[in-house]
Amino acid sequence: MGLDRLSPEQRALVDVWLPGARVVADLSWNQVDTVVLHVRHGGRDLIVKAGAPANHHIGRELDAHDGSGYVGVWADEGCAARLRHADRGARVLVLDRLPGVLAFGTPAATAPDVHRRAGELLRRFHGQATRASEGTDAAASRRALAWLDSDHAIAPDVEQRLRAALAALPPVEAPLVPTHGDWQPRNWLVDGRAVRVIDFGRFAFRPAATDLARLAAQEWLCAPECETAFLEGYGRDPRHPSHWLLMRLREAIGTAVWAHQVGDAPFEAQGHRMLADVLADVEDSA
The secondary structure of 33-101 as a DSSP string is: SEEEEEEEETTEEEEEEEE-TT--HHHHHHHHHSTT-TTHHHHTTTSBPPEEEEETTTTEEEEEPPPSE
Given CATH 3.30.200.20, say whether it is the number of domain 2-98: yes
Q: What are the beta bridge partners of residue 96?
A: 46
Mean pLDDT in consecutive groups of 10 residues from the start of the chain, 286 residues: 87 96 90 88 96 91 84 87 95 96 97 98 95 95 98 97 96 96 97 95 96 97 97 97 95 96 94 96 84
Architecture of the 102-285 domain:
Alpha-Beta Complex (3.90)
CA triplet 103, 125, 223: central angle to 5 degrees? Answer: 35
| Sequence ranges of the domains in the chain | 2-98, 102-285
pLDDT of amino acid 140 = 96
Q: What was the pLDDT predicted at 1?
A: 57
pTM, to two decimals: 0.93
Neighbours of 140 (CB within 10 A): 19
Q: Which amino acid is at 61?
A: E
Q: How far apart are CA 99 and CA 193, in angstroms?
A: 12
Please name which of 251, 189, 199 lies closest in space to residue 60, comparing C-alpha atoms.
199
pLDDT of residue 69: 75
What pLDDT sits at residue 90?
A: 97
pLDDT reported for residue 72 = 84
What angle (nearest 5°) sits at the alpha carbon of residue 206, between those of residues 134 and 29?
A: 140
Supply the pLDDT for residue 243. 95
